[in-house]
Structure 1
Amino acid sequence: MTDTDSASTPDADLVNALRALSNPMRLQMLRWLREPERHFPTDRAIADPAEVGVCVSHIQEKAGLAQSTVSAYLAELRRAGLVRATRVGKWTHYKRDERRIADLVSELGHAL
Structure 2
Amino acid sequence: MLRAPTGEKRLDILEWLKNPAAHFPPPKRGDLVEDGVTADAVAVKLGVSREVAERHLDLLADIGLLRTRRIRRRTHYRRDEMRIAEVARMFEKGW
* Structure with more of its chain in helix, by fraction: 1
Unpaired stretches in structure 2, ≥5 consecutive residues? none
Question: Alignment partner for residue 55 of structure 1, among 38, 43, 48?
Answer: 38
| Overall identity of the aligned pairs, in % | 34
Backbone CA RMSD of aligned residues = 1.1
What is the distance in 2 between the residues matched to 1:54 and 1:36? 7
Residues 44-68 of structure 1, C-alpha deviation per residue, up to 9 Å, x if partnerless? 3411111111111111111110111
- The 3-state SS of whatever aligns with 2:70 is strand
Deviation for aligned residue 1:85 = 1.1
Aligned residue pairs, count: 92
TM-score computed with the length of structure 2 as normaliser: 0.90
Provide closer, same or farther for how the CA distance between residues 45 and 108 of structure 1 changes in structure 2, counting only shifts above 3 A. Answer: farther
Structure 1 residue ranges (4+ consecutive) displaced by more than 2 angstroms after TM superposition = none
TM-score computed with the length of structure 1 as normaliser: 0.77
Instruction: Tell which has more relative contact order, 1 or 2 (C-alpha 8 A, sep 6+).
Output: 1
Matched, 1:78 2:61: yes
